[in-house]
Amino acid sequence: MAACSNGSPIGSGKGPQALAVTYNGNTAAVDMVECQTTSLTATATFADDNGDHASTSVVTSRVVWSSSAPGIIDVSNGDVETYAGSGAYYPVGTVIARATGNAVITATYADAMTASISVSAVDISSMRISPVLTRMAPDSTTTFHLYVQPQLDQIEQDLTANVNWMITDSGAPAVVSGTSTVVASRTPVDQNFTLEARLPTCNLNLSQTMSIGTVANLQLSYEQPQNQPVPVTLGDRVRVDAVFDDASAPPQDLSDQVEVDAADGYNKANASALSAAASTVTDVNGNTYLESTPYLVVSGDADRLDREIAFKLTYDKAGIDLTTTTRVYTFSDADILSMRIDPTQTDLTYPNLGHLQAYGVFDDGVERPVSRAVSWSLIDTGDSDLLSVNGSGLDGGLLVPFNVGGNARVFATIDSTSVGQIQEHATVSVHRQHND
């Protein structure tokens, strides 16, 4: 809401003429979840002596912030401690949802000009730490996330940055580095330690108990079909997991922690393998959920087609020194001729996520996954009111619904040298949240 005095902007000449409070660039009401913190921005509009040539300036640290209900939703002027005794304070303009409810946050500039924004916070219905691990490889690191599911009308939220992460055991063989990265020691194996995620604004917490485990081997999972050349326009997506002697332990993703070299006898100039991360995973049952997931993305050299290469992957060379070798790659200039989307029709009930996959048949007769290489989009008017789609990359085809009902068409587009532009679509039926 814009600043006003008797309904009109304040000021003239070089002084500020208007004030606005925004969240992510707009003045719409802010929806939060209890325990969450977020930042507001105050912006003043100024003009020259003639009242023309308006310019804006961020004045977040120059206004005085206040809340109509600080016990529910507070706001910091740089004087609100992150938790009692921490000695650390929330930055100016930080909104703190201490409980569920509503408040109006007001910024006051020069004791005269004000602007406000409405903020509401809803209940948390569930929390989870990701990834779920019971073992960590010696000398490994994993960045954990805390995801919370609001009770009503919001997608699952990542509150990792709002959390105090700590190892609760003295003498534990692991430490927290940075915000939420756990660094495991090399030894001792099998000594339990507990990672706690605590939301200090409302004193909710969740924990996960782990130990260092003996790694049996490194397991590789490939996106592209094996025993076939890989189109150089696609490359491959590879996941590297530590599999433990403890068969009950979930594997640990080490894709971004392995050293990559050309295997003996191969020229490293033929291809590269670099780490990248997706923000979601889709399980074997087709359920998609938030989880930061590292991969290796293998890319061939268009000038070195048909030249073989395999990669030697080494984990913890100075410690347990585990190695494995990838499949032998060759790359081709195979061209895509047709494409299909799977599924072509699907139901998506808010707040669940969805993920469409695209597959292409190439001129060598092989069908391959192409989701990372296509451009995903919404073309029909109004479909963007129903859901959003991630346009490309490791999360390409990711569907995020809004809490409205209706049918939308999601398009996948890719260029073919032989047949021109190829475009297919899937129909997504979005259903509102069921509130019992």
- End-to-end, the C-alpha distance of the chain in Å comes to 34
Distance, in Å, from the CA atom of 314 to the CA atom of 298, rounded to the nearest integer, reads: 16
- Quick one: pLDDT at residue 2? 42
**Domains of the chain, CATH where assigned:** 16-122 (2.60.40.1080), 124-212 (2.60.40.1080), 217-332 (2.60.40), 336-431 (2.60.40.10)
What digits encode the pLDDT tens for the residues 324-377?
999 999 999 999 999 999 999 999 999 999 999 999 999 999 999 999 999 999
pLDDT of 153 reads: 74
Q: Rounded to an integer, what distance in angstroms lies between the CA atom of residue 115 and that of residue 109?
A: 9
- What is the C-alpha separation between 129 and 376, in angstroms, rounded? 30
Angle at 313 between CA 269 and CA 374, to 5 degrees: 65
Report the percentage of the chain scoring pLDDT > 90. 88
Tens digit of pLDDT for each residue in 409-433?
Answer: 999 999 999 999 999 999 999 999 8
Distances (CA, A) of 259 to 68, 80, 266, 301: 54, 44, 16, 20
Q: Are strands 113-122 and 30-33 parallel, antiparallel or unpaired?
A: parallel
Cβ neighbours around 157 below 10 Å, total: 19
pLDDT recorded at residue 4: 41
| Mean pLDDT, contiguous 10-residue spans, the chain (436 residues) | 39 71 93 95 85 84 98 97 89 97 96 94 96 98 97 88 95 97 97 97 95 98 96 98 98 98 97 98 94 98 95 97 98 98 96 97 98 97 96 98 95 98 98 77
